[in-house]
Amino acid sequence: MKKKWALIPVIALLVFIFQFFRDPDRLVPEEGVVSPADGKVICIELVKAGDVPVIEKKGEKICLEELKDYITEDSYLIAIFMNVIDVHVNRCPIEGTITKIIYVEGTNHMATQLALENERNILVIDGKSRMIVIQIAGKFARRIQCFVQEGDTVEKGERIGRIILGSQVVIILPCTYEVTVEEGDHVKAGESIIALL
């Protein structure tokens, strides 16, 4: 009887691993910009272009130093929090080319709020418009996987990476797009439309 009870933690761990590493196919819509991640939209902010792009949040300025050469027009920032039960594979929001990948070491705070100071991997994607996807590690997610390289051509909805455990993905897109999601909405990577031109 004790042996049966001893199997419960092993079975629970196997179920968790299977659940976490699942990677279902997605029906990618032809129109619009698709979400780069599964999860909950936790913030939508305006990014002001300039010598150094800036976000103003609750009266405090957040300077995006590493993006100063890549954000050349006012943009929207949409942050998506992935909890441990979400699919953690990230997908490309548009068709285009990976023109730059920037890895930045940082802190590992909880990613339930905008966490641009955390460890992050930045993908600059040039297609009909320039979009930036930022994979952000959370407090417990210490491994960001990137499936693409600079110069790669990617399709909309194509897998571009994964983050281990709860984490966050941010997309930055020009203000010429109309954002079609709101804070609190749940989205699916490669399937949910988050903006329209």
3-state SS, residue 117: coil
DSSP assignment letter at 5 = H
Backbone angles phi, psi at 142, to 5 degrees: -110, 15
Between the alpha carbon of residue 27 and those of residues 136, 138, 148, 157, 163, the distances in Å are 25, 28, 21, 8, 22
Q: How far is CA 17 from the centre of its chain?
A: 21
Burial 146-163 (b: 16+ CB within 10 A, else e): bebeeebebebbebbbbb
Q: How many of the other CB atoms lie within 10 Å of CB of 121? A: 21
Q: Which of 35, 75, 129, 167 is catalytic?
A: 167
Active-site residue, 167 included: yes
Among 161, 115, 122, smallest CA distance to 138 is for: 115
DSSP characters over 13-79? HHHHHHHHT--------SSSEEPSSSEEEEEEEEEE-SSS-EEEETTEEEE-GGGTTT--S-EEEEE
Active site residues: 167
